[in-house]
């Protein structure tokens, strides 16, 4: 499987727009101060024990004071340095927790906490045997607790939908009245690009998600040997990055269904499990989602609904750009991209003419206007 590029995913580098930085506050200075004090205390106690042992050098009173000061200062310095390293690690960990919690749903958090409890219980059982190992046994229990809690929480959050289904919890998958469902962006809507402007206008409400398997599909297109598919894939990956950089509007979701191969089937399954809605331009996917009882928002339907209404008998001015498929037809376009077929317009290619609308054909793929020339073309200047 091709490797997913890092560009569309949230960056972990400082100053990256895809990641929120935690304000410094007092956490780091507090950790450094505490560890510095603990280091100084440890140094003082170590110096006191060494001085009282038989291995200590024979020192006068001033020498004993210097002995204590040196060990205390060394402990203070080592504790501070350890605090610098540890505070940075803790801050990175908290930043990571912020990112995970921002993407996690309530069901994931609850199941993840349950996973931690189960992991700690398993670690307790394992520790009963480990503590019997001489010398190193008690020290092995700490990593066992950490690893067991982490892995069980990770697995529980990853498979939270299946776990809740096994437990018979149905309410977690239902859309709560008054709560806006999440929106899943499929590859066709991303490559189309109009979703960027729609999101910027604020008409799309709810959490916006791009499943990782959709990003992988875009990656496969970008690596395709076919030039057209390669351009579409790279365009899609670029739009994912732009969506993420737009105030973090979109989140990459790692949920996957390894037992399902087709990306569209995964998308419908995920939407059905979570109560989310799909945003797409794929007419076939819309029909499949309708059969499965999943709500799909088609960008083409939205574009057609906001186009200015053109009625039969109305006269419009249009520039004929090329000949049509049928004999003596000319083809032009409105400013919004709607195609206009002009009867007896093939001889007027390159001219702007007044055309009278005869009929309007509305289809899922767009709107097409049929017309005829209603007057002579304007005189050229």
Q: CB atoms < 10 A from the CB of 201, how many?
A: 8
Question: What are the start-end ranges of the H helices in the chain?
Answer: 27-52, 61-103, 106-130, 137-158, 160-166, 187-192, 194-201, 212-222, 227-245, 263-274, 283-291, 299-305
High-pLDDT (> 90) share of the chain, %: 2
Convert the pLDDT of each residue in 62-114 to its tens digit: 666 777 788 888 888 888 888 788 778 877 777 776 666 665 666 777 888 88
pLDDT of residue 100: 64
Q: CB atoms < 10 A from the CB of 178, how many?
A: 5
Tell me which architecture the domain covering 315-373 has in CATH: Beta Barrel (2.40)
Q: What is the CATH number of domain 183-305?
A: 3.40.50.1010
The residue that leads in pLDDT, 360 or 94, is: 360
Alpha-carbon dihedral sign for residues 118, 119, 120, 126: positive
Q: Is the pLDDT of residue 57 over 60?
A: no
Q: Where in the chain is the domain with CATH 3.40.50.1010?
A: 183-305
Convert the pLDDT of each residue in 130-178 to its tens digit: 888 776 677 778 778 888 888 888 888 777 767 777 776 655 555 444 4
Residue 204, phi then psi, degrees to nearest 5 = -95, 120
Q: Is the pLDDT of residue 212 over 70?
A: yes
What's the pTM? 0.46
Taking residues 281-293, report their average pLDDT.
Answer: 88
Taking residues 350-360, report their average pLDDT.
Answer: 86
The residue that leads in pLDDT, 12 or 260, is: 260
Q: In this structure, what token pair is assigned to residue 211? A: 């499943």
Taking residues 364-378, report their average pLDDT.
Answer: 73
Taking residues 339-359, report their average pLDDT.
Answer: 86
Convert the pLDDT of each residue in 243-255 to its tens digit: 877 655 677 888 8
Q: Where in the chain is the domain with CATH 2.40.50.140?
A: 315-373
Average the pLDDT over each of 34-48, 156-170, 234-248, 281-295 and give the range with the smallest value: 156-170
């Amino acid at each position: 499987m091709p490797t997913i590029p890092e560009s569309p995913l949230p960056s972990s580098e400082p100053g990256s727009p895809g990641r929120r930085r935690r304000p410094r506050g007092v956490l780091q200075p507090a950790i450094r101060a505490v560890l510095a004090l603990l280091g100084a205390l440890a140094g003082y106690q170590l110096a006191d024990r060494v001085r009282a042992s038989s291995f200590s050098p024979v020192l006068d009173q001033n020498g004993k004071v210097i002995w204590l000061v040196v060990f205390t200062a060394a402990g203070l310095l080592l504790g501070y340095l350890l605090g610098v390293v540890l505070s940075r690690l803790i801050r990175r960990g908290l930043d990571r927790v912020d990112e995970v919690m921002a993407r996690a749903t309530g069901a994931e958090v609850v199941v993840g906490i349950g996973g931690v409890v189960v992991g700690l219980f398993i670690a307790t059982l394992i520790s009963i045997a480990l503590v019997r190992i001489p010398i190193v046994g008690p020290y092995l229990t700490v990593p066992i607790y950490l690893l067991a809690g982490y892995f069980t929480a990770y697995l529980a959050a990853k498979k939270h939908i299946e776990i809740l289904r096994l437990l018979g919890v149905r309410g977690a998958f239902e859309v709560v009245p008054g709560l806006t469902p999440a929106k899943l962006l499929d590859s066709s809507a991303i490559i189309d690009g109009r979703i960027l402007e729609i999101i910027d206008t604020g008409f799309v409400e709810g959490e916006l998600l791009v499943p990782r398997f959709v990003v992988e599909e875009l990656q496969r297109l970008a690596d395709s040997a076919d030039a057209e598919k390669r351009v579409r894939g790279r365009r899609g990956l670029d739009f994912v990055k732009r969506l993420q950089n737009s105030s973090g509007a979109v989140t990459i979701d790692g949920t996957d269904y390894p037992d399902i191969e087709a990306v569209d089937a995964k998308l419908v399954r995920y939407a059905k499990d979570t109560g989310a809605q799909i945003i797409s331009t794929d007419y076939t996917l819309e029909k499949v989602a309708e059969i499965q009882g999943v709500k799909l928002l088609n960008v083409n339907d939205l574009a057609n609904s906001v186009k200015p209404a053109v009625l039969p008998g109305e006269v419009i001015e249009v520039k004929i750009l090329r000949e049509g498929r049928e004999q003596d037809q000319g083809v032009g376009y409105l400013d919004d991209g709607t195609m206009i077929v002009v009867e007896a317009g093939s001889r007027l290619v390159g001219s702007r003419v007044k055309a009278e609308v005869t009929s309007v054909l509305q289809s899922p793929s767009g709107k097409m206007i049929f017309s005829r020339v209603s007057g002579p073309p304007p005189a050229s200047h």
